[in-house]
Structure 1
Amino acid sequence: MQFSLKFKDIDEKRDLNENYTIRDLLDELELSAQTVVAKQNGELTIEESVINDGDEINLVQIIYGG
């Protein structure tokens, strides 16, 4: 089982563990939900969402301005 990950220069297939969530992915990449927004199959999603076989996960960097 695999899913696709797209983030900045990353565009790869990753192996998928059972009950693997967006939060697990962010922790693995050492990213915070305060700095990125996750899209699962083109739709905004929450950290608790489970990633399924064949899903496409796109992480979008949040830009703060002032």
Structure 2
Amino acid sequence: FGHALQDAGVDWRVNIYGGAQHAFWARPTNSDGSPVEGLTHVQATVPGVGYHPKHTERAWRAVLGLFAEESK
């Protein structure tokens, strides 16, 4: 994939967050939908999905940085 983008002249990047699971940005919720603190989902979810607050912040900063870069 990287080679195809490179060959096409696309300016691209990828951010990898060690230890983050899929949907690491999705804050855990109680059964009534209210947020809970901690690193695990209270409601049953699919394997490999889990909240990671540190990576949530890092990923959001990366998104904002990309928007700032592209708006120039």
Where on the TM-score scale, by shorter chain, does this alignment land: which range?
Answer: under 0.3
- With normalisation by structure 1, the TM-score equals 0.21
Question: 1 or 2, which has the higher strand percentage?
Answer: 1
Question: 1 or 2, which has the higher helix percentage?
Answer: 2
- With normalisation by structure 2, the TM-score equals 0.20
Structure with the greater alpha carbon radius of gyration: 2
Q: Which has the higher contact order (CA 8 A, sep 6+)?
A: 1
